Amino acid sequence: MRRIYLLIMILCGSCLFLQAQSHLRFASAFTDNLVFQQKSQVKVWGYASPRSSLRVIASWNEREEIVKADTSGKWMIELTTPAGSYQTYELSIADSEQTVVLKNICVGEVWFCSGQSNMEMIMRNDPQWRLYVDNANEEIAAADYPAIRFITIQRNESFTALDEVLTEGWQVCSPQTVGGLSAVGYYFARKLLSSLDVPVGLVVDAYGGSPIQSWIPYAETLKPLYKAEHETLQEAVEKGKEKPEYNMLSSLYNAMVHPLIDYKIRGWLWYQGEANVGDAGRYVSMMKDLVNSWRKRWKAKLPFYYVQIAPFQYPGYQKEKWAELAEAQFVALQTISNAGMVVTADLGDSTNIHPGKKKPVGERLALIALSDTYHQKIKCQSPALKRLVLEQGKLRAEFDFAYNGLRLEGDYHEFEISSDGMTYYKATVEIKDSYVWLSSPKVPSPCYVRYGWRDTCVSTLYNSENLPLGPFKASIDI
């Protein structure tokens, strides 16, 4: 009986949807102030009367294109965009009765910013939730960047893939608007703008507290790895819930990502993982499913740049599990092509899961993008362990991406060594170029090393580009 009721509801909803599309409009992702990806074939879509013939004109070439709405009233057209510049454009669509015009359009670079609360966290401080961006007031007052544009997708969940997102549309970055922009996104865009000298558009599509499972398309989860999530989802359906919870399988992909898979972007920025602390064993596989499925939906092997979560003193079942999740994120980097990871082990706040140091996060993401996507000669990688050997009673660790050498910030460090991999002791550290020697009178025959392996880690080892070492564990047989 319940299934019949749900079917009736779906059919009624479909009828209402078709009725709502009878007037001419662009889809919700297309508004004044938007940014199109430069030098690309971009898709634009919307709704009109079923089977109506429509005329589309983009002011960058003034050529009239004809498109026809389908039987449901949806229309879609591909347009070729010019090279990015600070010139603004208009885009119009018309039927036999009316014309709808989008104004103040820019063409440049578009990035999709997703994840949970540390990506969602805006520039404006929110004392109620202890959300404080460093130097927020000064940064907001100076944020006069009309070539940075952003659209924030509102939180929403769905059992099935939707056609539209909830949003108030594209905004131009200014002291009046930037307070509502993702802080990580803002600092990323600002760095890109100064380096590329073309407009930057951000699609901010994040949801605080969300696990990675919520962002993966349902079709990619039909495997034993997601057995528990499927059971939870089925239970919600059987209880007749109108909507799933934000932490249920595919719920955020359906409502917040799927409607945008035809929007042309340069790549993705991802800051997520806190909700999966304590579940590191599955995270690499789930992250691969996320990236592969998004690339499949966008029909492009786009770059995927992400943030390794910052240290925080987790409570309950997540206690002392931060390093395991952070390590899983590093392992994922070795298995996902065209990807990059920002280390933030020096930026955490042990008492606040939302650290205020968002500027270096956004700028480090931008360094990777400028290097790997825009092919600028930039040193953008954090140090990474290359080799570990025992040498005259000391462990000698060699690191990739030391560049012009490693250094400690102050006397404190996070290195510990062990002979059995169970009991660790603080190591004495000697550094030269890309090498670190580790020893302790308590460990005459060291075989194991770990770095930053605790929730309240504070990384102090940097390369010459001021990029920190992240947490790791290793033994001399690597």
Instruction: Read off the tokens for 433.
Output: 């170029």
Residue linked to tokens 């050498």: 405
Residue 14 has pLDDT above 50, yes or no: no
> Which pLDDT band, with edges at 50, 70 and 90, does 251 fall under?
very high
Token pair of 210, please? Answer: 């969300």
Say how far apart CA 227 and CA 12 lie, in whole Å: 32
Instruction: State the average pLDDT over residues 182-189.
Output: 99
439-463: pLDDT as tens digits: 999 999 999 999 999 999 999 999 9
Q: Which helix (H) or strand (E) holds 204?
A: strand 200-206
Confidence at residue 2, expressed as pLDDT on a 0 to 100 scale? 38
The predicted pLDDT at position 3 comes to 39
Measure the CA dihedral 83/84/90/93, to 10°.
Answer: 60
pLDDT (average), residues 254-267 = 98
Which residue is associated with the tokens 């990871």?
Answer: 341
Q: What are the two backbone dihedrals, phi and then psi, of residue 284, each rounded to the nearest 5 degrees?
A: -60, -45
CB 428 within 8 A of CB 441: no
Q: Per DSSP, what are the bridge partners of residue 78?
A: 43
Span 82-109, average pLDDT = 98
Among the residues of 35-157, which ranges form H helices? 117-120, 136-141
Specify whether the CB–CB gap between 213 and 221 falls below 8 A: yes
Distance CA 29, CA 468 (A): 37
- pLDDT for res 20: 45
> Which residues partner with 41 through β-bridges?
80
391 Cα distance to chain centroid: 42
304-348 pLDDT, tens digit per residue, is 999 999 999 999 999 999 999 999 999 999 999 999 999 999 999
Helix then strand count (H, E) for the chain reads 9, 24
Q: Which residues contact 202 (CB under 8 A, 6 or more apart)?
A: 110, 111, 113, 148, 149, 150, 151, 181, 182, 185, 186, 188, 189
Q: List, in order, residues 6 or more apart from 117 with CB less than 8 Å away.
A: 206, 208, 209, 274, 353, 354
Per-residue pLDDT band at 16 (split at 50, 70, 90): very low
pLDDT score of 478 more than 70: no
Q: How confident is the model at residue 22 (pLDDT cuts 50, 70, 90)?
A: low
pLDDT band at 477 (very low <50, low <70, confident <90, very high): confident
Instruction: Supply the Cα-derived Rg of the chain in whole angstroms.
Output: 25
User: Residue 471: which residues within 8 A CB-CB, separation 6 or more?
Assistant: 322, 323, 326, 327, 345, 414, 450, 451, 452, 453, 457, 459
pLDDT at 11 over 50: no
Please check the confidence at residue 6 and state whether its pLDDT lies above 70: no
Confidence of residue 205 (pLDDT cuts 50, 70, 90): very high
The 10s digit of each residue's pLDDT in 34-55 is: 999 999 999 999 999 999 999 9
| Res. 1: pLDDT tops 80 | no
